[in-house]
Chain A
Amino acid sequence: MKVGVVTFPGTLDDRDAARAVTHAGTTAISLWHNDADLKGVDAVILPGGFSYGDYLRCGAISRFAPVMEKIIDAANSGMPLLGICNGFQVLCEAHLLPGALTRNHELHFLCRDQKLEITNNQTAWTSSYSVGQKIVIPLKNGEGSFQCDDATLAALEGEGRIIARYVGENPNGSRNQIAGITNARGNVVGLMPHPEHAIDTLTGPTADGLGFFTSVLKALVK
């Protein structure tokens, strides 16, 4: 079982995502943005960071990387794909997920231990959780406000494609407190907060984040 973790220039949380994958019991494979080669991995993570310095728009340049072509094809064929923070931004820019992430409504970069509610456990990345489960994982970004038009919002809500919502005060102005969404098939998930930073209580606020990485193991074994 192999999970690919992509590194773009400016990616920051790739090693942390790889650590989380290893912690969950499987092998992490490093994928370079410029190589159109998925190295036979079974799932892919687009990690957090400031790829290309967030130039132009977050993720706007990364989405055109050679590796992305292969990833988009694989995702369209059902391969599990998780975009965390900057990764979520890349997925939206690549139109694998609807909507867009914009500047936090209070304009500051915000790093905090964020309470979330898991609202869909039918995806490849959330099956380890129960619906309604509250978890706490770090949120750390400047552009995390999820925006989309009314039709898209209605579709997401109607089809149950919101996988996590912020609990309590909305930290960034995201519509309907949306912290993460999935595609119709349930294999592509975008999440703003960082589960890879909540895999143990030594270095994180909780170990609640590990579930994202154990979920995909189950999805792959099936």
Chain B
Amino acid sequence: MAKIVVDVMLKPEILDPQGVAVSAALPRLGFTFAKSVRQGKRFEIEVDGEPTSAQLAEVAKAAETLLANPVIETFTVRVEK
């Protein structure tokens, strides 16, 4: 069943201390691939049937009002099979 996924990330200019902590921890565990790491949130929204573009528009509104704080965060909305 398809779901609508909203990914929320802090705006690039906002300090992300959790991302910093993660990128510091990776090399301690032997993982050296990361130049930087930022941490975000993922919302998975189940709807009945296939998501319509009207629904996606509504989800975007919900994202702007509730799921994300536009002052410090950006978001993307997409459908995932």
Residues on A lying within 8 angstroms of B by beta carbon are 56-57, 60, 64, 92-93, 98-100, 102-107, 145, 147-149, 173
Q: Are A60 and B69 in contact (CB under 8 A)?
A: yes
**Which chain A residues border B17 with CB–CB below 8 Å?**
103-107, 145, 173
A118 to B18, CA, bound (A): 31
Q: Are B66 and A107 in contact (CB under 8 A)?
A: no
Q: Are B15 and A105 in contact (CB under 8 A)?
A: yes
**Which chain A residues border B13 with CB–CB below 8 Å?**
149
Any A CB within 8 A of the CB of B77: no
**Which chain B residues border A57 with CB–CB below 8 Å?**
69
Total A-B contacts with CB atoms under 8 angstroms apart: 35
Kindly list 18 other residue pairs between chains A and B, CB separation below 8 angstroms, not including A145-B17, A147-B14, A148-B71.
Answer: A57-B69, A60-B66, A60-B69, A64-B66, A92-B71, A100-B69, A102-B10, A102-B14, A102-B72, A103-B17, A104-B17, A105-B15, A105-B17, A107-B18, A107-B21, A145-B15, A149-B13, A173-B17
Q: Are A100 and B72 in contact (CB under 8 A)?
A: yes
Q: Are B71 and A173 in contact (CB under 8 A)?
A: no
**Which chain B residues border A102 with CB–CB below 8 Å?**
10, 14-15, 72
Once A56-B67, A60-B66 are accepted as A-B contacts, the answer to whether A173 and B72 lie under 8 Å apart by CB is no
Q: Distance in Å from the Cβ of B56 to the closest Cβ of chain A?
A: 21
